[in-house]
Amino acid sequence: MSKILTTESGAPVADNQNSASAGEYGPLLIQDQQLLEKLARFNRERIPERVVHARGSGAYGYFEVTDEVARYTRAGFLSEVGKRTEVFLRFSTVAGNLGASDAVRDPRGFAVKFYYTEEGNYDLVGNNTPVFFIKDPIKFPDFIHSQKRDPYTGVQEADNVWDFWAHSPASTHQITWLFGDRGIPASYRHMNGYGSHTYQWVNADGDAYWVKYHFKTNQGIRCLDGAQAAETVGGDADSHQRDLHQAIERGVFPSWTLYVQLMPVAEAADYRFNPFDLTKVWPHIDYPLVKVGRLVLNRNPENVFAEVEQAAFSPNNFVPGTGPSPDKMLQGRLFAYADAQRYRLGVNHTQLPVNAPRATEAANYGRDGYMAANSAGRGKNYEPNSYDGPAQTGDVLATPVAVAGHTGTYTTPAHTKDDDFFQAGELYRLMSAGERTRLIDNIAGFLAQVSRDDVVEKNLAHFHAADEEYGARLAAAVAKLRAGDES
C-alpha cells in the first residue's frame, strides 16, 4: 500500500496536481495550504544562492518606445514615442548552481526591471523560450527537484528528469524547444527573450487586453550544438558572462526589439485552446506581433555581487495600466518570487540601490527587519492616521477579472483544441530536415540513459502523440543507443 501524501503538519493532501482557485478559471486562493507551503518551503531550500536561476549575468541600459501603443495601455513608460526608461536586465541559466557553466542545455532567464520614475518599478520576469514545462505552480518544486542534483548520487540523474516528464505530458512542447537547435544559445546577446506568461494591459478608457511579450534579438540568433557547447565549456565555463561584459566594454551595445501580441479580453473564453496555458503559444496568424520599442544594454555593473546577485525581481511589481492574468503559473509566481527574495536577501531588499525605484521613494508603513536603511524616522507606522502619512489612491492598476463557481482544486476545463501535444507536433513539423535530426539525436542521447523501460515508453508515447514521425524516429534512435550499451 502506497504512503499517503501529507502537509508538513501531517494532514493528508487531497490534490497535489492542481492549485485551488476561485472557480474553474479564477485566480488562485491564499487558503490553499499545500500550494503556499510547497512554494514557501521550496524557496528556503538553499542558502544563500537562488534555488533556481542562480548562475546569472546582468547589465544596465534603457528602453525606448518607438511605436505608439498608448491606445492599448495607460502605462506611463509606454505613453509616447521617444520616451526612454532606465532598465536592468539579468540573464541566467535555470537549473545550474552559482558556479555552473554558461554554455549548457537549459532555459535562460530573461528578467527586465524597468525603473519607471513616475509610479514605481515594473518587473517583467521571463525566459528565452515562449513556453514552459508545467501549467500549475503546485508542481514547480517537484519539477525543479527532478532536474537538480539527486539527493543520493549528488548529480543530475536522467532517471529523475525523464520520470517527471513521463508523468507530465504537457512538457512535450518545451522539451521540443529545449532539445532543438535553440537549446544552447551561443551567448546571451544572441537569443530572444519572452515574457512567456499572459499579462494584462489596460488603456485610459478601461479597455483591457491580454498581452504576451517578445524581445527579438537584433544581433541575430546564434546557437551551439552539443559538441560546440562541450568545447566552449571546457575552454571557458564563463563564456556568456565574459561575452556580455566584454561586448559592452567595447561599446558594442546589445539590443532587442520588443513586440507584443494582444488579445481583447472577451476573446479568451472561446479561443480554441486555453490562452493562459504556459505550455502553449498564441499563433501569430491569430494575434500578429505589434512593435513597441527597443531595449539597449550599454553599462556594466560596477560590482557583480551588489548589483547582479542582489538584484531581485517579482512579476507582482506592476504599474498602472499593467496587471496579471488567470495564468496559474503566473499566479503562483506572483507570490513565490517576492517571497524567495525576502528569504534570500531579507525583507528590506527593495531598499538596495539595484532594486529601489528611481526618483520616487517607496512610501508605506513597513518598518524594521534586517538591514533596514530607511526607517522613516518618527513617522507613524500605521494607517489610516491623522498626520498626513501615505494614503491609498483608490485607483486600480488593472481591470478586475470576473470569477464564478465554488472554491476548490480544478483541472482547467479543456477548450476545443486543448491537448498537450499538438503544438509540439507543429513545432517539429516546422523544423528543417537537419533540425529534426539534431533534435532526435539530442533527446535520444539523454533518454537512452534512463534505467526503467516503462519511463522510456511513457515518454516515447508523448512524442508519438505529437507527431508519428517524431515518435518513431526517436524510438528507433533510443533503441539503437540502448542496444549498443547492452552489447
pLDDT at 378 (0 to 100): 84
Domains and CATH numbers, the chain: 28-157+186-359 (2.40.180.10)
Active-site residue (options: 53, 173, 214, 462): 53
pLDDT at 9 (0 to 100): 66
477 is written with which cell numbers? Answer: 534512435
CA 213 to CA 193: how far, in whole Å?
8
pLDDT at 128 (0 to 100): 97
Beta strands in 403-453 (DSSP E): 407-409
CA 77 to CA 224: how far, in whole Å?
36
The pLDDT tens digits of the residues spanning 120-165 come to 899 999 999 999 999 999 999 999 999 999 999 999 999 999 999 9
- Measure Cα distances from 292 to 73, 85, 113, 202, 355 in Å: 11, 13, 17, 15, 25
Beta strands in 198-248 (DSSP E): 199-202, 208-217
Share of the chain above pLDDT 70, in %: 97
The pLDDT tens digits of the residues spanning 95-128 come to 888 889 999 999 999 999 999 767 889 999 999 9
Active-site residue (options: 18, 43, 121, 127): 127
Chain-centre distance of CA 429, in angstroms? 25
Our answer to whether residue 298 is catalytic in this structure is no
Contact 217/191 with Cβ under 8 angstroms? yes
SS3 per residue for 134-195: CCCHHHHHHHHHHHCECCCCCCECHHHHHHHHHCCHHHHHHHHHHCCHHHCECCHHHCCEEC
10-19, 292-301, 333-342, 355-364: which has the minimum mean pLDDT?
355-364
Cis amide linkage into residue 48, ω under 30° from 0: yes
pLDDT at 308 (0 to 100): 94
Our answer to whether residue 127 is catalytic in this structure is yes
Residues paired with residue 213 on neighbouring β-strands, in sequence order:
260
Reported as a pLDDT band with limits 50, 70 and 90, residue 360 is low
CA 20 to CA 102: how far, in whole Å?
37
0.75 surpassed by pTM: yes
What backbone torsions phi and psi does residue 114 show, to the nearest 5 degrees?
A: -90, 115
pLDDT at 174 (0 to 100): 98
Q: Give kind and range of the element (H or E) at residue 422.
A: helix 422-430
168-172, 216-220, 282-286, 407-411: which has the minimum mean pLDDT?
407-411
Say if residue 45's pLDDT is above 80: no
Rg (CA), the chain: 23
